[in-house]
A = this chain, B = another copy of it.
Amino acid sequence: MHNTRFPELDTPSVIVDLDVAEANIDRFQAYCDQHGLALRPHIKTHKLPGVAQYQIGKGAIGITCQKISEAEAMIADGISDILITYNILGEAKTKRLRALADRVNLRVVADNSEVARGLSRAFADAPDPLPVLVECNTGADRCGVANPEQAQDLAAEIDALPGLRFAGLMTYPPSGRAPEVLDWLQNAKTLIEGNGMTVDTISSGGSPDMWTAHEMPLATEYRIGTYVYNDRSLVARGTCGWTDCALTVLVTVVSVPSDHHAVIDAGSKVLTSDLIGLDGYGHVLDRDDLTVDQLSEEHGRIRSAGAINLSVGDRLRIVPNHACVVSNMLDHVELVRGDKAIGPTPVVARGQVW
């Protein structure tokens, strides 16, 4: 039974159980160590420098950020090895990137010439070239060059540009398609090496396939974010169980308007509208009969097919569908260890989209 009281905490609160988070980090680090995988966790899930430091202390080779502002927040706390997996565009951003690269070990990605040329303009006079990985679309259809031949061309272009150095390949792979991803990356690597270049880094990742990460031995590093907290989407995929979920939302029942529904004091401003293919907006711990069937900004509606069996003032703990977006909603999360509340901590890299 989870502690759903925490009388010292007001609701709604986003709670992070450090015991659970540390166990999650330790477990996957052990898996990576066993398989000789280099782990580069994505900080988007926790946005907390302290957790990033813990990950590095346990053996992570560095961190992954999506935006420069996230990297800035982490560097301010002493993190010194960062891959930014984003096309960085525009002089305002490339100047900030240059300022960071002069201080820490920084690498970025590009999937097109415009981005590469912009990076080159900012780094042409840098003391050391900026390492740039080519982002590859291996099937997830977000960013990435479309095929290995384009990867080869962009790698050559990057290596020829002043201030840049081609450093390898990066992909955000589709889940469950490791053989195709492996083929794609192997073909690109062969083509690029045929040009007389080396492919130092091949960076892959993704939480859903974390326990089969070793099935793509070509990857030299693995990026993963959600594993530190886990969430309802990963429980639904069988990646973890409810007791592995480190981030929960503590809420209070504020209304019980009928025998079959209740209203809690957390809506989309805490739980978010992310469904990720699921029904409902979260899992109520220790109450498998309940569904969170509707959210407005400050209200969440709880339903039961049977009697709701809740009273006004009751507290519940909810595992959200998607932990990463929930940790972006409030300025602070409440740290706990089991039943013991430790105190709030600022979500330092919250809302950093630049």
Sample of 4 more A-B contacts, CB < 8 Å, known A44-B298, A112-B312, A115-B312: A11-B354, A86-B254, A268-B274, A273-B275
Residues from 99 to 152 in A contacting B, C-beta threshold 8 Å: 111-112, 114-115, 137, 141-146
Count identical subunits in the complex.
Answer: 2
A72 to B343, CA, bound (A): 23
Residue of B nearest to A42 (CB): B297
Residues from 293 to 352 in A contacting B, C-beta threshold 8 Å: 294, 296-299, 301, 311-313, 324-325, 328-331, 351
Question: Hey, what's the 0/1 contact readout for A251-281 against B, CB within 8 Å counting as 1?
Answer: 0101111100101011011101111000000
- Tell me which residues across on chain B come within 8 A of A301, comparing CB atoms: 141-142
Given A254-B143, A274-B268, A312-B89, CB of A324 within 8 Å of CB of B351: no
A90 to B5, CA, bound (A): 13
Question: Hey, what's the 0/1 contact readout for A235-258 against B, CB within 8 Å counting as 1?
Answer: 000000000000000001011111
Chain A interface size band reads 35 or more
A299 to B265, CA, bound (A): 30
When the two chains form the complex, which single residue of B87, B330, B351 contacts A255, counting CB atoms closer than 8 Å?
A: B87
**A352: min CB distance to chain B, Å:** 9
Interface presence of A1 (CB below 8 A) = no
Cβ contact within 8 Å between B273 and A272: yes
Cβ contact within 8 Å between B263 and A89: no
Interface presence of A171 (CB below 8 A) = no
**A226: min CB distance to chain B, Å:** 11
A329 to B146, CA, bound (A): 32
A89 to B315, CA, bound (A): 12
A263 to B89, CA, bound (A): 12
**A302: min CB distance to chain B, Å:** 12
- Tell me which residues across on chain B come within 8 A of A353, comparing CB atoms: 12, 265-266, 269-270, 298, 330
Residue of B nearest to A14 (CB): B353
- Tell me which residues across on chain B come within 8 A of A297, comparing CB atoms: 44, 66, 324-325, 328
Cβ contact within 8 Å between B270 and A272: no
Given A112-B312, A273-B274, A298-B86, CB of A10 within 8 Å of CB of B93: yes
